[in-house]
Structure 1
Amino acid sequence: MPILSVKDVLKSADFFAAMGFEIAGHWNNDDGSVNFAIVHLDTVTVGLMRDLDARGSGENWVSYFYLNDINAFADHIQGNGIELAREIVDQVYGCRDLEVIDLDGNRMCFGQDLTPGSAGPGL
């Protein structure tokens, strides 16, 4: 489970919910502020940890998530107002993928393995 640094856990959880993720739960500090949440989409699970100094990943991916239908995912997230940082591209490494940047600048890649093997996605 990748854990992303985010400034506002609840806003970030809502961003992931707009991408189709379910909010599994969140946890609070003693003062009541939310410090951690877990979201998931099918078999993809992501942790969101509060970090007031969150700066994002720049041009590098913080994670690569394999999905079964990248076109349906793109339609869904764009229908919910989420912009693609990079449109869908068929890659030389055998995946069809796109990029999204979250509210804190974390760059994530979501892709579909075009020739899935018995060893798992990407292998």
Structure 2
Amino acid sequence: MMQASITIFTVKDIAASLAYFRDKLGFDVAFEYGNPTFYVGLCSGEVSLHLIAATQTPRLPGHGAVSIFVDDVDALHADLVKRGVRVLKAPKDYDYGLRDFDVADLDGNMIFFGMESQKASWCRSADLLVRS
């Protein structure tokens, strides 16, 4: 049985990306690997996200995406705007039952923050919301 998943973003500048996720998006640094560092583990609540330097993988930076479910989309949006995060789309309610907004990291990887906006049919599996 699967238990969890971790999204890995390929980034051009591991130090700049680590600072962005820590200082702008509020992630904690769980670990740094390599000398010099080329792989980083980040966490915020139940969310884990890893970064790998583009020099260490054939994957190209800026082609990743992750959806993160939060308790209060509007409060998070306000906090991220104060921190100087470039928000691509303001919070909005959608007919699929979510209120969400979008940001991009320094390399263009997409991060979608959302919460339920109306009564919807959801199932919770491994602490992730999945449309049923």
The Cα shift of 1:73 comes to: 0.9
Q: Distance in 2 between matches of 1:54 and 1:104?
A: 10
SS at match of 2:77: helix
Q: Distance in 2 between matches of 1:106 and 1:68?
A: 22
1:66 to 48, 69, 72: 69
Q: Share of identical aligned residues, percent?
A: 24
Once the two structures are superposed, residues 26-64 of structure 1 have per-residue CA deviations (whole angstroms, 9 ceiling, x without a partner) of 111xxx22111111111111000111473313xxx6111
1:5 to 7, 10, 20: 10
8 A contact 1:54–1:104 mirrored in 2: no
SS at match of 1:11: helix
Q: 2:42 aligns to what?
A: 39
Superposed CA RMSD in Å reads: 1.9
- What pairs with 1:15-54 in structure 2 (closer than 5 Å)? 15-17=20-22, 18-28=24-34, 32-52=35-55, 54=60
Runs ≥4 residues deviating over 3 A: 52-55, 115-118
SS at match of 1:85: strand
Q: Distance in 1 between matches of 2:121 and 2:20?
A: 32
